[in-house]
Chain A
Amino acid sequence: GQQVMQIPQYQHVQEGEDFTTYCNSSTTLSNIQWYKQRPGGHPVFLIQLVKSGEVKKQKRLTFQFGEAKKNSSLHITATQTTDVGTYFCAGPEAAGNKLTFGGGTRVLVKP
């Protein structure tokens, strides 16, 4: 079945610095979704990318979908303590209404 992998698993970031987390799928995706889960919370939908090479921005967050639609990245600039949490990418399986989550990148911010 489809596998979605994320690196790094953990990211320790100094407040104010930038970082990037990467997502790779074993299969071509029709779209890729990104979610954020705060400690003790539940996943919250951030964005969906559909087109090859698509780039979308949400304030300090920049999301990119690869040309081959098998990888994606999330870049955060000027990290803040509010960015703490786990960021998951997720891709739908070809058949059925099924979303497979990557392992997540756990972000810790040092003030």
Chain B
Amino acid sequence: DTEVTQTPKHLVMGMTNKKSLKCEQHMGHRAMYWYKQKAKKPPELMFVYSYEKLSINESVPSRFSPECPNSSLLNLHLHALQPEDSALYLCASSPLDRMDYGYTFGSGTRLTVV
């Protein structure tokens, strides 16, 4: 399995809703990432997990709450989002012991906040 699987693919949520994005990989990668991408912009890093521990939080608002239950799963819990949070949310993974390996991205969750 050489894929990163993200669910759901599309999500529309109200500003008072609570929802979760899910990400799964079975490549044995010990680093997992959440990126946010707005239209016509590059991906922006949100969080990094290394060996299931949060290692980088790019000053993301607390309405975004990441969770890494095990080495294969990564969640992003959403609560009280704003319309400007509408974006493509990308999960990625990479090995931590190989220098010649890039990131493997999932196909993303396209989030619309109404």
Contacts and interface: CB of A to CB of B under 8 A. Distances in A.
Q: Do A and B bind each other?
A: yes
A82 interface: no
Interface stretch (A14-22, A62-70, A99-107): A99-107
B66 interface: no
A48 B42 contact: no
Contacts of B100: 48, 50
A31 B108 contact: no
A35 B92 CA distance: 13
Interface residues of A, number: 23
A42 B99 contact: no
Interface residues of B, number: 25
A42 B102 contact: no
Contact of B96 (A35, A97, A106): A97
B102 A97 contact: no
A9 B18 CA distance: 37
Interface in A41-79: 41-48, 50
Interface in B11-49: 31, 40-45, 48
Given A98-B56, A104-B42, A45 B103 contact: yes
Contacts of B106: 42
B15 to A, nearest CB: 26
Given A98-B48, A101-B42, A41 B103 contact: no
Interface of A: 31, 33, 35, 41-48, 50, 88, 96-104, 106
